[in-house]
Structure 1
Amino acid sequence: MDYSIRVIRAYEWERARELRLTALRDPVAHLAFLDTYEAAVERPDSFWQERTEGASESGDGRVRQLVAEAPDGRWAGTVSVLVERAGAESLFGDVPEVEQTHVVGVFVRDEARGSGVIDALFEAAAEWSWSLAEPRIGRVRLYVHAENGRAQAVYRRLGYVPTGVRAALHGSADAHELEFELLRPA
């Protein structure tokens, strides 16, 4: 794999915006993201600047956005990792019982799929999670749409297992997401 994995920098908000908009145009975006291209493209620059700053090394430490960067500087993929504290309501409305991180915003460009980018991004996300001294993370979790078999297969291959938790998808009475987890190594 010819990609390096790193945390985004605050000044890279335009690149972060472009990658997110590309992700939202993916054919399975409606299954993978709780956002739409139409809504995202209308957001002001200040939104993207704040979002990127918060997920960068200079952010507050509650979220990190990782990118896979090709030797020519092109970003091939991304994941974001949110810190969720035990006993505190998460952004998703539940209250975790353990200190955990939550992987969101997973995307790999078509031309980089099958190259190992997703493996490297998830490895870096887990390494970042386990490296936190406070809170000491007990597990990494993610949600995946019940109909997104492609993503579920990737997550299983990477060692994530379904927990049995099902969450109703926002705005839908019928659609559900499944929780997967990776427990901290002993």
Structure 2
Amino acid sequence: MIYTIRTVRHEDWPKAKEIRLAALRDPVAHLAFLETLEQALARPDDFWQARAAASADGTSLRQFVAQAPDGEWLGTLTARVELPGDDTVFGQAPKAPQTHVVGVFVRPAARGAGLAERLFGAVLDWSWSLSEPRIERVRLHVHQDNARAEALYRRVGFERTGTTVLVPGDAPFREIELAIPRG
């Protein structure tokens, strides 16, 4: 399978919206994402435009995509820089600068071809390349019942940290934190 890994640009917002909606239609979306399809569909275009612009312009957020030669996006993930004192999605302020990977999705037809591994390689390269702030680890969370996703994350080098948090709005289920420390 031929594809290019790149970051999202301003003008990519319609594709960013489309792949997010595709991700939220996936049969395991309820285990993988904190947002529902209904919530995403209700968002106006200016939300999607701002989201693409934040990724294109910022140094604290990057969305990576795997793009086929015909322009179709086959997969995506996003990394957010988290600093000590920041409010985070699960309320865990980091002790040192880190990136938090969210929104991991690969279209079913593209799974198993190494695309997810290349997306993770891009986010790790970007994270380690930052000099200010210097990233000390890359982390993510996986739902306790999402064994397929956890297997992928472990395959690319993430390990359980021992930290778990309740899934917002879905207690008693837990999200398991996995991380890769700076080597």
Same fold? TM cut 0.5: yes
Q: Where does structure 2 lack aligned partners over 5 or more consecutive residues?
A: none
Matches of residues 57-68 of structure 1 in structure 2 within 5 Å?
A: 58=57, 60-68=58-66
Of the candidates 79, 90, 93, which is equivalent to residue 91 of structure 2? 93
Do the aligned partners of 2:143 and 2:175 also contact (CA within 8 Å) in 1?
A: yes
2:2 paired with 1:8: no
Percent identity of paired positions between Structure 1 and Structure 2: 52
Please give the alpha-carbon distance, in whole angstroms, between the structure 2 residues aligned to 1:95 and 1:54.
22
Of the candidates 70, 95, 116, which is equivalent to residue 72 of structure 1? 70
For 2:60, the aligned partner's letter is R
Aligned-residue offset at 1:90: 2.4
Aligned-residue offset at 1:158: 0.7
Please give the alpha-carbon distance, in whole angstroms, between the structure 1 residues aligned to 2:35 and 2:156.
25
Please give the alpha-carbon distance, in whole angstroms, between the structure 1 residues aligned to 2:154 and 2:180.
10
In the alignment, what sits opposite 1:116? Answer: 114
2:100 paired with 1:102: yes
For 1:51, the aligned partner's letter is R
For 1:69, the aligned partner's letter is Q
2:146 paired with 1:151: no
Please give the alpha-carbon distance, in whole angstroms, between the structure 1 residues aligned to 2:107 and 2:140.
20
Task: Give per-residue Cα distances to partners, 1:133-156, cap 9 Å, x unaligned.
Answer: 100001000000000000011111
In the alignment, what sits opposite 1:84? Answer: 82
In the alignment, what sits opposite 2:21? Answer: 21
In the alignment, what sits opposite 1:167? Answer: 165
TM-score w.r.t. the length of structure 1 is 0.95
Please give the alpha-carbon distance, in whole angstroms, between the structure 2 residues aligned to 1:173 and 1:92.
13
Do the aligned partners of 1:89 and 1:96 also contact (CA within 8 Å) in 2?
A: no
Please give the alpha-carbon distance, in whole angstroms, between the structure 2 residues aligned to 1:12 and 1:99.
28
Please give the alpha-carbon distance, in whole angstroms, between the structure 2 residues aligned to 1:95 and 1:45.
31
For 1:2, the aligned partner's letter is I
For 1:32, the aligned partner's letter is A
In the alignment, what sits opposite 1:182? Answer: 180
The 10-residue stretch of structure 1 (81-90 or 126-135) with the greater mean CA deviation from structure 2 = 81-90
When the two structures are aligned, how many residues end up with a matched partner?
183
TM-score w.r.t. the length of structure 2 is 0.97
Please give the alpha-carbon distance, in whole angstroms, between the structure 2 residues aligned to 1:67 and 1:73.
11
Please give the alpha-carbon distance, in whole angstroms, between the structure 1 residues aligned to 2:107 and 2:3.
13
For 1:8, the aligned partner's letter is V
Please give the alpha-carbon distance, in whole angstroms, between the structure 2 residues aligned to 1:19 and 1:162.
28
1:174 is paired with a residue whose SS is coil
Aligned-residue offset at 1:162: 0.3
2:128 is paired with a residue whose SS is helix
Do the aligned partners of 1:8 and 1:52 also contact (CA within 8 Å) in 2?
A: yes
For 1:113, the aligned partner's letter is R
Q: Where does structure 1 lack aligned partners over 5 or more consecutive residues?
A: none
2:25 is paired with a residue whose SS is coil
